[in-house]
Structure 1
Amino acid sequence: MFKIGEFSKLTQVSIRMLRYYDETGLLKPAETDKFTNYRLYSTEQIPALNKIIFLRDLGFNVSEIAVALNRWDDEFITKQLENKRLEIENAIKVEQDKLSKIELAKDDIRREKIAINYNVSIKSIPSYQVFSLRRIVPDYYAEGQLWKEMSAFAVKHSIPISNDTFTIYHDMDYREKDVDMEICAPVSRMGENTSGFVYRNTEPIPTMACTMVYGSFENIAGAFLAFANWLQEHNQYKMTGQSRQIVHRGPWNEENPDKYLTEIQIPLEKI
Structure 2
Amino acid sequence: MFRIGDFSKLTQVSIRMLRYYDNTNLFKPHFSDETTGYRYYSAYQIPTISLIVSLRDMGFSVAEIKEVCHYDTLNDLKSLLTKRKNEVENSITEQFSRLKQINDFIANINKERVNMNYNVQLKSLPSYKVVSLRELVEDYSQEGMLWGKLGEFAEQNRIKLNQVSYTVYHDRSYKEKNIDIEVMIGVDELGESQGEFVFKETEPVNKVASILVSGDYTNLKEAYAYLAKWIEDNNYTINGIALQSCLKGPHNANKVEDYLTELLMPIC
TM > 0.5: yes
SS at match of 1:165: strand
2:251 paired residue number = 252
2:260 paired residue number = 261
Q: CA deviation at 1:213?
A: 0.6
CA spacing shift, 1:24–1:115, aligned 2, 3 Å: farther
Correspondence list, 1:1-271, <5 A: 8-18=8-18, 21=21, 27-29=26-28, 42-43=41-42, 44-62=44-62, 65=65, 68-71=68-71, 73-187=73-187, 188-194=189-195, 196-235=196-235, 237-269=236-268
Unaligned runs of 5+ in 1: none
Q: CA deviation at 1:24?
A: 6.6
Q: In 2, Cα distance between the equivalents of 1:80 and 1:175?
A: 34
Alignment RMSD (CA, Å): 3.6
CA spacing shift, 1:184–1:72, aligned 2, 3 Å: farther
Partners of 2:146 and 2:183 within 8 A in 1: yes
| Matching residue's letter, 1:137 | V
Q: In 1, Cα distance between the equivalents of 2:146 and 2:38?
A: 61
| Matching residue's letter, 2:192 | G
Q: Which moved more, 1:90-99 or 1:185-194?
A: 90-99
Per-residue deviation, residues 42-90 of structure 1 (Å, max 9, x unmatched): 5354333322222332344556545544546444544554554454444
Aligned residues: 266
SS at match of 1:239: coil
Q: In 2, Cα distance between the equivalents of 1:20 and 1:205?
A: 72
Partners of 2:21 and 2:28 within 8 A in 1: no
Unaligned runs of 5+ in 2: none
Q: Scaled by the length of structure 2, what TM-score is found?
A: 0.78
